[in-house]
Amino acid sequence: MTTAKAAPGKTLLDGSDHTLVLVDYQSQMAFATRSIDVVDLRNNAALVSKAAAEFGVPTILTTVAEKSFSGPMFDEVTAPFPGQASIDRTTMNAWEDENVVAEVNRIGRNRIVFGGLWTSVCIVGPALSALDQGFEVYVITDACGDVTTEAHERAVQRMVQAGARPMTSLQYLLELQRDWARGATYDRTVATAIQHGGGYGLGLVYAKTMFGGGEGH
């Protein structure tokens, strides 16, 4: 007989067990993105960035041809990490850049979470490469985008078939919090959800405003 225990599953993320890699959230890449509205993409990327900063997740910011072609990273992605420089590359696959993998090795965590543009190129490349080298890989699919819905969906399918675990931006935030009794991060988690969590965020505003509701017990 299997005995239930009040403990999280081994594949659930927390702030201490993974590295977040945010790839090519740049103007030139966003101009051609069609699989998700760019406003939604920016909102979701901001949610992920804030969540990582709030929970102390080591985060790698990387760009491609920032000065010569693609432009700077979105402000909402970089703002939660003040003073942190992005790693600029020439490679489409960030995992083929020596500076990026050196930072992965310096941080030293076996789980890698990816978000960025485009799904079928700059996310597939490092995701499949990391999987091939024995890393556990998660992809925040609604914080990724591509030139068509077909390109995005086939890329996600390809990564899942190879062993990557898909998730969403709001799921990422709430998975890191996971218990409303965690007071140290409660206020920031709620603030981020209110700002970037869509209808769920509006629900939080309503509950707190109308009858002082809260998630904790």
Q: What is the pLDDT of residue 203?
A: 83
List the domain range (segments joined by +) for residue 193. 182-217
The pLDDT value recorded for residue 206 is 81
Q: Do 58 and 107 form a contact (C-beta atoms < 8 A)? A: yes
Tell me what percent of the residues of the chain surpass a pLDDT of 90. 88
Number of H helices, E strands in the chain: 9, 6
163 and 211 in a single domain? The answer is: no
101 & 200 share domain: no
* Pair (153, 71) in one structural domain: yes
CB distance 14 to 178 below 8 Å? yes
Average pLDDT over residues 12-40: 96
Distance CA 46, CA 79 (A): 9
Q: Indicate the pTM of the whole model.
A: 0.94
| Residue 122 is among the residues annotated as catalytic for this protein | yes
Q: Is the same domain home to 131 and 189? A: no
CATH code at position 97: 3.40.50.850
Provide the residue type at 2 as one letter: T
pLDDT tops 70 at residue 178: yes
The verdict on 97 and 141 lying in the same domain is yes
Exposed, middle or buried, 129 (CB in 10 Å: 0-12/13-18/19+)? middle
pLDDT value for 24: 97
Residue 2 maps to a domain = no
148 & 210 share domain: no
Residue 88 CB burial class (10 angstroms; 0-12, 13-18, ≥19):
middle
Predicted local distance difference test score (pLDDT) of residue 201: 82
Average pLDDT, the chain: 94
Of 22, 29, 117, 122, which one is the catalytic site residue? 122
Same domain? 70 vs 145: yes
What are 115-147's pLDDT values in tens digits? 999 999 999 999 999 999 999 999 999 999 999
Statement to judge: residues 118 and 154 lie in one domain: yes
Instruction: Report which residue type is found at 35.
Output: S
* 124 and 189 both lie in a single domain: no
Residues 107 and 157 in one domain: yes
How many domains in the chain? 2
* Spatial distance between the Cα atoms of 10 and 22, rounded to a whole number of angstroms: 24
Reading across the β-sheet that carries 59-64, which strands appear in turn?
87-89, 59-64, 18-23, 111-117, 136-145, 165-167
Report how far residue 206's alpha carbon sits from residue 132's, in angstroms, rounded to the nearest whole number.
46
Distance CA 104, CA 53 (A): 17
Closest CA to 61 of 38, 29, 84: 84
Q: Does 63 share its domain with 168? A: yes
User: Is pLDDT of 204 > 80?
Assistant: yes
Q: What is the pLDDT of residues 80-128, one digit of tens each?
A: 999 999 999 999 999 999 999 999 999 999 999 999 999 999 999 999 9
